[in-house]
Amino acid sequence: MGWDPTLWALAGWLLLALLVLTIIGELLEQVLPIGRGNRLFKNINDRIKAWWIMAILLVGALALGKGGVLVLFLFISFAALREFLSLTNTRLADSWALASAFFFVLPVQFLAVAMDWPGILSMFIPVYAFMFMPMLTALRGEPHSFLIRVAETQWSLMVSVFCVSHLPALMNLTIEGFEGRAALLILFFITVVQGSDTIQYIWGAQFGRRKVAPQLSPSKTVEGLVAGTVGAAVLAGLIFWITPFTWWQAALLGAAIFLMGFFGSLVMAAIKRDRGIREWGPLMMAQGGVTDRLDTAIFSAPIFYYLVQFFWGA
Amino acid sequence: MKKIAAEIVSIALQLLIRALTAVRGIWVGGEPEDKPRIYYANHTSNGDFVLIWTSLPSEIRRKTRPVAAADYWFKSKTRRFAVEEVFNAVLIDRNAENRKEGEDPVTLMTQALQQGQSLIIFPEGKRNQTEEKLLEFRTGLYHFLHNNPGVEAIPTWIENLNRVLPKGTLLPIPLICTVTFGAPVTLGKRESKRKFLKRAHDELLKLAEMQDRGRV
């Protein structure tokens, strides 16, 4: 990692591509008559703005090496956990469990990434934290909606900490012939997630007829789902050369990443609907909170990690 | 020296509050305005006014003073420094018998207002530790507006801080807080005390309900 020349060439291309996209996007929205007040173009331009932030943060973190990437995702994870727990039914009796989620579970999970302890990475939250946190809550002796409160806290950790931590953990994978370049997997993953979600959105908005789950999300359609799957496979196949995969392996992984992301974000939409909110939080302009930007990556990150580990891991 | 220390503490405190709560002020009933007003808020935690203070735009924050109980804040040197230097609070004596001439709360608050400053008050009079959303208001708000006709009272709803600083835990829990500022309330010309206080109370509750329904 660090000063890998491929990484730098890629970072340069990435920023150039964003610049081109920004210019085209602004031209379409501001200059051409069809673009004025067009919600589709507005949404795309908002996405591009968020990509700038992501690209700058990610490239900056990669430049600092593993430590930089870890700190970046630690902050993201913290912000996501805060957004998630803010919406739960937790009460005074949960305060020990909540404090331990923030000040113990979260740091330990990222310590596992830092120290490259794969066993702890995959077990610490679903085994240890899931058993000890309800104990802490039970000790406070408040039975009212106990199971709901415990489940909410566990889910918060699963989504915001466990899933998110698997993104920086990609750097720890040792793949034959790909030593020291695993950081490229993060770039591959995020490019596929963001690109395919946008394809899905545009296609769905233009040609979408059949909604996948009309009560949960008006913008998720069967047509978008198909276009996104194909788009993810093509996009991933096109950039296979930055990964240890062959083109068809990359395409299959791309499709898997998209499908997990698509249905994962449906899950997140269901949670938002239930809580009566449109967005998770206030962090990024016009695009809601951290969790809103992450929702497609959240469910696919661990799946991508474990697929690569299983088939390619040394 | 004291001034610099107060400035540093103030910045550090705001950073801490933002890191913990990502607090933002939401103005649903009008825009923030740089003129003397009185913000009245629900009170569930000792950090309440710091949160309101942090969420105000900085030009307004500098001229906004919380109204606080002298006996609580004079208990230790640190508290005294915080309340006098950092927050520049209007301190009132809760025990009416100890007050000297010209030290009654309404007079002190009016003086601050006449110097162009805004105020933050908690009309419930004490921290609300019940299940009830909002306790009944004490009468100070009415008397103050009666003495200062035309001044705008801004209902201010603080959400979640009681979960960030739960009683009896050492560590604060990072959760997102919001401060919602509603439409200004002014005292009507012939409005009775009871009627006005009920109206002000209802306006604040409305903001709470908007929060609950996810409208904010």
The pTM for the full model equals 0.87
ipTM: 0.81
Q: Given this model, what pLDDT does residue B156 score?
A: 95
Closest-CA distance, A278 to chain B, in angstroms, reads 8
A282: nearest CB among B22, B174, B213: B22
Does B49 score more than 90 pLDDT?
no
Q: Given this model, what pLDDT does residue A246 score?
A: 95
Bin B45: left if φ > 0, else alpha if -120 < ψ < 50, else beta.
beta
List of domains in chain B? 2-212 (3.40.1130.10)
What digits encode the pLDDT tens for the residues A194-225?
A: 999 999 999 998 898 899 988 888 889 999 99
Q: How confident is the model at residue A288 (pLDDT cuts 50, 70, 90)?
A: low
Using the beta-carbon criterion (under 8 Å), do A82 and B22 form an inter-chain contact? Answer: yes
Task: State which residue of chain B sits closest to A272, comparing Cα positions.
Answer: B214
Q: What is the DSSP string of chain A?
A: -TT-HHHHHHHHHHHHHHHHHHHHHHIIIIISGGGTT-HHHHHHHHHHHHHHHHHHHHHHHHHT-HHHHHHHHHHHHHHHHHHHHHTS---GGGHHHHHHIIIIIHHHHHHHHHHT-HHHHHHIIIIIIHHHHHHHHHHTT--TTHHHHHHHHHHHHIIIIIIHHHHHHGGG--BTT-TT-THHHHHHHHHHHHHHHHHHHHHHHHH--SBSSTTT-TT-BHHHHHHHHHHHHHHHHHTGGGSSS-HHHHHHHHHHHHHHHHHHHHHHHHHHHHHT-S-S-SSSTTS--HHHHHHHHHHHHHHHHHHHHHHHB-
Non-local CB neighbours of B151 within 8 Å, separated by 6+ positions: B36, B37, B38, B113, B144, B145, B186
Using the beta-carbon criterion (under 8 Å), do A282 and B24 form an inter-chain contact? Answer: yes
Mutation to test the B interface, candidates A81, A86, A272, most B Cβ within 10 Å: A86
Tell me which chain B residues have a C-beta less than 8 angstroms from the C-beta of A86. Answer: 160, 175-176
What digits encode the pLDDT tens for the residues A62-100?
A: 888 899 999 999 999 999 999 888 888 777 778 888 999
Note which residues in 186-225 of chain A have CB less than 8 A from chain B. Answer: none
What digits encode the pLDDT tens for the residues B192-207?
A: 999 999 999 999 999 9
Could you tell me if A110 and B185 are in contact, meaning their C-beta atoms sit under 8 angstroms apart?
A: no
What digits encode the pLDDT tens for the residues B110-135?
A: 999 999 999 999 999 888 888 888 99
pLDDT above 70 covers a percentage of chain A that reads 93
Tell me which chain B residues have a C-beta less than 8 angstroms from the C-beta of A83. Answer: 176
Mutation to test the B interface, candidates A76, A81, A82, most B Cβ within 10 Å: A82
Instruction: Please tell me which residue, A2 or A3, carries the higher pLDDT value.
Output: A3
Q: Given this model, what pLDDT does residue A286 score?
A: 45
User: Mean pLDDT across the stretch A17-35?
Assistant: 82
